[in-house]
Chains A and B, each alone.
Chain A
Amino acid sequence: MNLLGQLSEILTNLSSVKVESSLILGAILLLLVGLVNKSGGLIKSVYGLTLALAFYLNWEGFSIGNILSNSLTTTPIAQSFTSILLLSALLILIYTRSNDHATEFYFFILSILVGSIFIMKANSFLVAYLSIELTSFSAYILTNFSFKKSGFEAGIKYLLFGAVSTAIMLFGFGLIYGSTGTFFFSDLSTLSGDLLTNIGLVFVVFGILFKASIIPFHIWVPSAYQSAPNDAVAILSIVPKLGAFVLLYRLVSESGPVREMISTMCLILGMLTIVFGTLSALRQTNARRMISFGAIAHSGFVLPLAIMNSATAYQAFWWYAVVYSIMNLAVFRLLEEYEKNEIFNIKNYGGIGASQWLLNGGMTIILISLIGLPPLSGFTAKFFLFGSLLESYSSTDETLYMTYLVVAVFATVISLFFYLKIPYQMFLVNPETSRTFQPSISSKIIATLFSIILLLLFFVPQILTVMQQLLNSHLAYE
């Protein structure tokens, strides 16, 4: 193919990467505006408009298939998950953020977004690698945005970890390429499953699991979550994670004969994640750290959905991702409010319940949704998870699914213990010292709104399905 042909192909395919392009352009614009005008409002509006535009472009849809010399592949799942990522990114505007370094902050968020969206669409190993690195590097920097020593440490740790993981992943790509000559995920189905390719694949999966904070690749999570600013944490706990899960989903669905090996490995690691995440959360005294471990456990809950590869699991995956994003956005936002009032440790929550029931009630509802109790959508998400597991079990007779179910159920009970610590302190414990606690109106409104959303999604779960169908309906199939 000549240069002209390539160029014209790029031009025709450009419409399929319009979301990413708009985000990149927006990011550049953001930097420019930041140079000229440091007012937070303007920067936030540029950021918001960029995301809105990207969301619109994503909504508009694109054609499905391999593009740009097979380096990218567009899929319905990528489109629908992209909208989650964009909306989550948009919603971090509800967090309070001073004008200091606002430009840089939102710029890095946009780059994380771009990276994560490319992760979901990557077909070529190179793109996958590059996009993961893009996300990682932006994330390292974001971790430091609190400008505290602890943040710096956590960022470094994260960086080192990430470096090792991506190195392993790169090694994996190398192994696969070396033994088979293929450079594309879409060719994985033709792999024979010899030792070298298997090792290569496992290495690749490790790299992905690192982003998804699955044990034993989770070590960076708690300290990173604890020291980063809340809005960054919300993004870190949603965007790269979901991107990684989508990549894993595609990897598993396209990996052909070696699929079983990967899924077995993932299932076992997932169970370990649930167990370790839940048990570790149990002994935390710091609220944010506890919720971070909870988030690790949640990764364990999502993991099987990404690899089960059934239509039910696909739905449940989408569902869990959306609800998980909503819950995380909300919980970290409210944590921010509490932390602003010097409430860091779980003990500090003692007796504040009655004074501010709108905020505290909202927090309670969100936490209960994180546990997964009805009538909140956290339950529906878990319900779909259990349903998919049981269905997979009955269709494959693989006991691992059943075991996973049992582990998940017990972990739910245990998660009650730690998530409930906060409402318990709020409402059931008398405060040692009376504290004046004046949350902002916006926090109260946010608490109420998110509670309503979580309730609404339980009672009318169709919303999400319909939303997904609507999104996908704009896609053009060739």
Chain B
Amino acid sequence: MNIEALILLILLLPLIGGLSDYLLGHSRRFIATVFVAISFGLTLYLVLILENPYLAKLEWLPDFQIGIHVDKPAATLLALVAFISLLVHLFSHEYMKEDPSKHRYFAKLGFFTFSMMGLLIADNLILLFIFWELVGIASYLLIGFWFEKEEISSSARMAFMVNRVADVALFAGILMIYRSNGSLFISEIDRSILFLPSLFIAIGAFGKSAQLPFSGWLVKAMVGPTPISAFIHAATMVAAGVYLLFRVGPFLDSDVLVVIALIGVLTALYGAISAITQNDIKKVLAYSTVSQLGYMVMGIGVGAGEASLFHLWTHAFFKAGLFLGAGVIMHHLHQQKQFDAQDMRFMGGLRKKLPWTFVVFLVCGFALAGIPFSSGFMSKEGILVAAWAWADGFGTWAYLIPDVALITVLITAFYIGRLIVLVFLGENRSQEISKVIVFGENGFIKIPLALLALGSVWLVYNINPLAHHSLLDPFIGLSAVSSDSFISIAATGISILLSSTGLLLAFFFFKPGSSFSSRYLSSGEPVSIGGKLIINGLYLTSIYRGFGTAIFSASKAITWIEKQIDGFLHFIAVGGVVLSKVIAIFDRLIIDGLVNLSAWLAGLFGNVTRGVHSSQSQWQIIWLLISFVLILIWILFF
């Protein structure tokens, strides 16, 4: 099979599958799933046969080419996306079983997969932007899938709008590169990008990868179906920003790179802190994604693109596992009308009901926490070590970045530990749970979960559990992360220490029966300002909303201006009418006034032999003569 056809098939199969599901209607069908499975198989084949990067160009517009570029990293990421997509498809068959609009769901999912894959292979920045936007719209459609609910549709819109604002920056940045560099092919960029376009590109990536100050949308996006959350958080959408930065990172302006590292680490800290106090299981996971993305972005900023990409890969597995697991839990508790099926305060003891899920949460949670023998440990270490090494060469203040990153490790372990303890340990804290028909952990559920958990253990990537890179790296075309050995060891040590401390702390605070735990469980929403700030994620969404309101007010103000413009033009029109009225008044007052005066005078002197009208004529003639004399004067003397 030639490679063009292969790539085309990989790309189009999910789309076609989804569309045919849609067109064929409501019945339970597997076309989409099967097509994604084929697509996944083909990506594996592609990864195997791909020797050299594959480049193709097409003159899309006259004198304007777009092109694709498939190298090993792109191909493997294609496989990753296809794989996660396949799992999400499988999972969704069970999860969305009852939904009447399932066909619409699969169509959108196929479209989402297609867009993300397109983004990965786009070489030309414009083509990349095209798929970037498609990803955005697909996420909008999927987040807002249950559009009947006001809150869901407005969240979907907020997610899209926040992205769109960042996209404007990205678009402008891309076009500025075109202006200065002349070429938009990533593979052809040969010199550094200027400051402003670099910054704009970074802002675009921040938007899609939910970095500060754009992080709010990702949490809002939780309202969509849970498999979609898993998909968004794991392999699509948020990965796009990191991927873009990975691609163009080496050419970005060095000042902008520092900004990227800084924003990344701040986001990591922000996400982790916000995750601590959340009661909603999906929100914990969402903030954790924000935090993990912060790591990846920081990695790009410190020049460790490979490590970031590796973390993107491992994160895809463990986060998808966590989300799908959360989906199982929620579905399990779904019929409970009395309480929120996502509130961890009403959970507990679920290890008995959902043993598979429990195991998956353990494995994936450890990976998230960065416990040795997990994939997450390896990839996160890579970034941490690189950050440390980068700071070493930069100066004292730069240590802020690895330091904050390390603190975040502690917090990360703490919140994920808290989650697992609250959800799975102890006894169930809601009375009705026993009456609920148990949502089966059937094959559609188990297989995806198992595969994702499997992907989160070290052995898949490297035999050495303490290594900072994957053995597959050379295969997928990445160079291994190199680091100073002292830094490497120190970072590893500190990190292991911090993550295990975090887990232990979580266990001690939240273990069933502990005094802190019972106090927490009976407490309501936080009242202190700090607590509110944290649980609401710095009120980012409120800020967006305020921003939106401000824009809307501005638009109202502009319609006011619009009215004034109209008013002004009316004024001119009215002015004409007024002028004609003035002429009329002139006619009446001056001419007729003289006439009337004369009539009155005439009456006074008893000389009323003529009618009023003939005297009117008299006066009009006098008026004529006056104007006539005036003209004469003017003609003769000017």
Which A residues form the contact surface with B (CB < 8 A)? 153, 156-157, 160-161, 164-165, 168, 195, 198-199, 202, 206, 216-217, 219, 261, 265, 269, 276, 279-280, 282-283, 414, 417
> Can you offer 23 A-B residue contacts whose CB atoms are under 8 A?
A156-B613, A156-B614, A160-B614, A160-B618, A161-B617, A164-B621, A164-B624, A164-B625, A195-B636, A198-B636, A199-B636, A202-B632, A216-B624, A265-B631, A269-B631, A279-B583, A280-B580, A282-B576, A282-B580, A283-B577, A283-B581, A283-B584, A414-B576
Within 8 Å by CB of B621, from A160, A280, A282, A283, lies A160
Determine the chain A residues whose CB is within 8 A of the CB of B624 once the complex forms. Answer: 161, 164-165, 216-217, 219
Interface residues of B in 614-631 (CB under 8 A from A): 614, 616-618, 620-621, 623-625, 627-628, 631
A160–B576 touching, CB < 8 Å: no
Judged by a CB distance under 8 angstroms, whether B635 is at the interface is: yes
| Chain A residue at smallest Cβ distance from B576 | A414
CA distance A199 to B632 in the complex (A): 8
Determine the chain B residues whose CB is within 8 A of the CB of A414 once the complex forms. Answer: 576
CA distance A276 to B618 in the complex (A): 22
Determine the chain A residues whose CB is within 8 A of the CB of B616 once the complex forms. Answer: 157
Determine the chain A residues whose CB is within 8 A of the CB of B623 once the complex forms. Answer: 216, 219
Whole-angstrom distance between the Cβ of A214 and the nearest chain B Cβ = 11
Whole-angstrom distance between the Cβ of B138 and the nearest chain A Cβ = 49
Judged by a CB distance under 8 angstroms, whether B533 is at the interface is: no
| Chain B residue at smallest Cβ distance from A168 | B628
Determine the chain A residues whose CB is within 8 A of the CB of B613 once the complex forms. Answer: 153, 156-157
CA distance A202 to B631 in the complex (A): 9
A156–B635 touching, CB < 8 Å: no
Judged by a CB distance under 8 angstroms, whether B460 is at the interface is: no
A-B contact count (CB 8 A): 60
Judged by a CB distance under 8 angstroms, whether B579 is at the interface is: yes
Determine the chain A residues whose CB is within 8 A of the CB of B579 once the complex forms. Answer: 279
Of listed A157, A168, A280, residue having the most chain B CB within 10 A:
A157
| Chain B residue at smallest Cβ distance from A152 | B613
Of listed A165, A279, A417, residue having the most chain B CB within 10 A:
A279
Whole-angstrom distance between the Cβ of A198 and the nearest chain B Cβ = 7
B620–A202 touching, CB < 8 Å: no
Which B residues form the contact surface with A (CB < 8 A)? 576-577, 579-581, 583-584, 613-614, 616-618, 620-621, 623-625, 627-628, 631-632, 635-636
Whole-angstrom distance between the Cβ of B302 and the nearest chain A Cβ = 68
Question: Nearest 3 pairs between A and B by C-beta?
Answer: A279-B580, A216-B627, A282-B580
CA distance A168 to B628 in the complex (A): 10
Q: Assuming the A-B contacts A156-B617, A161-B621, are A282 and B632 also in contact, with contact meaning beta carbons closer than 8 angstroms in the complex?
A: no
Whole-angstrom distance between the Cβ of A271 and the nearest chain B Cβ = 13
Of listed B616, B621, B625, residue having the most chain A CB within 10 A:
B621
CA distance A86 to B637 in the complex (A): 42
CA distance A414 to B574 in the complex (A): 12
Within 8 Å by CB of A282, from B577, B614, B627, lies B577
Whole-angstrom distance between the Cβ of B587 and the nearest chain A Cβ = 8
A202–B635 touching, CB < 8 Å: yes
B617–A160 touching, CB < 8 Å: yes
CA distance A157 to B610 in the complex (A): 13
CA distance A198 to B625 in the complex (A): 18
| Chain A residue at smallest Cβ distance from B579 | A279
Within 8 Å by CB of B576, from A198, A265, A279, lies A279
Determine the chain A residues whose CB is within 8 A of the CB of B632 once the complex forms. Answer: 199, 202
CA distance A269 to B581 in the complex (A): 21
CA distance A195 to B637 in the complex (A): 10
Whole-angstrom distance between the Cβ of A279 and the nearest chain B Cβ = 4
| Chain B residue at smallest Cβ distance from A159 | B617
Determine the chain A residues whose CB is within 8 A of the CB of B625 once the complex forms. Answer: 164
Whole-angstrom distance between the Cβ of B131 and the nearest chain A Cβ = 51
Whole-angstrom distance between the Cβ of B423 and the nearest chain A Cβ = 71
| Chain A residue at smallest Cβ distance from B584 | A283
CA distance A282 to B632 in the complex (A): 30
CA distance A261 to B576 in the complex (A): 31
Determine the chain A residues whose CB is within 8 A of the CB of B628 once the complex forms. Answer: 168, 206, 216
7 new A-B pairs (CB below 8 Å) besides A165-B624, A217-B624, A414-B576? Answer: A156-B614, A157-B617, A198-B635, A216-B623, A216-B631, A265-B635, A283-B584
CA distance A153 to B616 in the complex (A): 10
Whole-angstrom distance between the Cβ of B610 and the nearest chain A Cβ = 11
Determine the chain A residues whose CB is within 8 A of the CB of B581 once the complex forms. Answer: 283
Determine the chain A residues whose CB is within 8 A of the CB of B584 once the complex forms. Answer: 280, 283
CA distance A160 to B616 in the complex (A): 11
CA distance A198 to B618 in the complex (A): 27
Whole-angstrom distance between the Cβ of B364 and the nearest chain A Cβ = 72
Whole-angstrom distance between the Cβ of B576 and the nearest chain A Cβ = 6
Within 8 Å by CB of A283, from B580, B631, B636, lies B580
Determine the chain B residues whose CB is within 8 A of the CB of A206 once the complex forms. Answer: 628
B635–A261 touching, CB < 8 Å: yes
Whole-angstrom distance between the Cβ of B103 and the nearest chain A Cβ = 50
Determine the chain B residues whose CB is within 8 A of the CB of A219 once the complex forms. Answer: 620, 623-624
| Chain A residue at smallest Cβ distance from B613 | A153
B583–A276 touching, CB < 8 Å: yes
Determine the chain B residues whose CB is within 8 A of the CB of A216 once the complex forms. Answer: 623-624, 627-628, 631
CA distance A319 to B526 in the complex (A): 89
CA distance A153 to B621 in the complex (A): 15
| Chain A residue at smallest Cβ distance from B581 | A283
Determine the chain B residues whose CB is within 8 A of the CB of A282 once the complex forms. Answer: 576-577, 580
CA distance A153 to B579 in the complex (A): 28
CA distance A282 to B631 in the complex (A): 26
Determine the chain B residues whose CB is within 8 A of the CB of A202 once the complex forms. Answer: 631-632, 635
CA distance A444 to B337 in the complex (A): 79
